[in-house]
Structure 1
């Protein structure tokens, strides 16, 4: 049995945040597929036995069950001794970016991707336009920050980088963004992360079946 168990599925960028850290840290871990798209996390049994919030990822380690990607990343950095803060000031800065990610960066970008490409019903155009505008604004903040440094905090990869990059490695036909053209500094940063030893893209690292986008829209970039 592996030391770490991650409940996950391949379409989840939040699960990819944790999985990519585990892979890049060389951890002893295994993935347990969750049929999220089939409704598994909405069942009473799953919520009682795995995560009352009905969300993925969930990390199991030494009798603990942890949910929420930011908490999982923080725990893994401490448990593995990799990609964490080296000072109280860095810890605050890392959490500043993780909170920004959860509130504005991943939240709008991931919701835009889901409605655009994966949700069963086509979204209202005004809703999609609103989410794209909010995602663009969040991307602009990160783009400016990364124009002058290689990583988000401390000149090296940290859990802040794993957090914000969780949904960037899905294909443009899903996300609607060609990052190389739309946000070149963000794209260059993502490629530095992809060059880390052990890194793999989400559809190779995580379990589950890749599904084609349900709809086609123009790609930004």
Structure 2
């Protein structure tokens, strides 16, 4: 059994943040599939034994189970030293992690779900509202990443893994062509993809049961 066990599914970008970190950090880990599509995370047994919040990912290590990708990444950086922000970058790291969880990942993930994973097509007004939120947030990140190789500067940190959660899923799912619309983000995600250990989400986590995409 691997030292780190990540409860996840391939379609979970929040799970991918942690999986990508573990792989690029060269840590001993394995994915543990969850039947998300079948409602496993909503069952009382799963919530009692794995995560009371009912969310993925969950990192299992030495009998301890941890949730929330941002908190997990901080814990991993502090306990392994890999991809940790410098001491004088701690405030900036927290600022960007919160920005990611509250806006960058949150808006993009919600748009992706409404774009292709709901049983019925989303109300166009809802999709337009979510798209506008993504565009606003992505414009901020795109401008920053045009002048910075990685989010905090010259080297990758946990902040990059956090923001990378959803940017490698196909355009058909997300509804955004990052390469065409956001050159700063695209150049940054290519730099992240050049790190040893990088793999795309579905290849990194070929486990569990994700929600099936809606037929267009």
Q: Does 1:170 align with 2:182?
A: no
Structure 1 pair 36–212 and aligned structure 2 pair: CA distance change class (3 A) = closer
Conserved? CA contact 1:97–1:160, under 8 Å: yes
Provide closer, same or farther for how the CA distance between residues 47 and 211 of structure 1 changes in structure 2, counting only shifts above 3 A.
closer
Match of residue 219 from structure 1: none
1:137-148 matches, within 5 Å, as 137-148=136-147
Greater relative CO (CA pairs within 8 A, separation 6+)? 2
Report deviation, 1:37.
1.4
Note the C-alpha offset of 1:212.
Answer: 6.2
Match in the other structure for 1:205: 204
- In the alignment of these two chains, the number of paired residues is 215
Residue 77 of structure 1, CA deviation: 1.2
User: Residues 41 and 47 of structure 2 are in contact (CA less than 8 Å); yes or no, is this contact kept in structure 1?
Assistant: yes
Unaligned runs of 5+ in 1: 217-221
Structure 2 CA distance for aligned equivalents of residues 110 and 29 of structure 1? 25
Greater than 2 Å deviation, 4+ residue runs: 208-213
**TM-score under structure 1 normalisation?**
0.94
Partners in 1 of 2:23 and 2:68 — Cα distance? Answer: 18
Equivalent in the alignment of 2:38: 38
TM-score, structure 2 normalization: 0.96
Alpha-carbon distance in 1 for matches of 2:210, 2:34: 14
* Paired position in structure 1 for 2:73: 73
Q: What's the CA shift string for 1:157-182, capped at 9, x where partnerless?
A: 11111101100000000001111110
Query: Aligned-pair distance for 1:80?
Result: 2.1
Q: Where does 1:1-221 land on structure 2 (aligned, <5 Å)?
A: 1-87=1-87, 89-206=88-205, 207-208=207-208, 213-216=213-216
Contact map agreement 2:193 2:199 (CA 8 A) in 1: yes
CA 1:82–1:4: 2 relative to 1, 3 Å: same
In 2, the alpha carbon distance for the partners of 1:126 and 1:153 equals: 36
The answer for unaligned runs of 5 or more in structure 2 is none
Distance (Å, rounded) in 1 between the aligned partners of 2:212 and 2:59: 28
> Deviation at 1:121?
2.2
Q: CA separation in 1, counterparts of 2:74 and 2:195?
A: 19
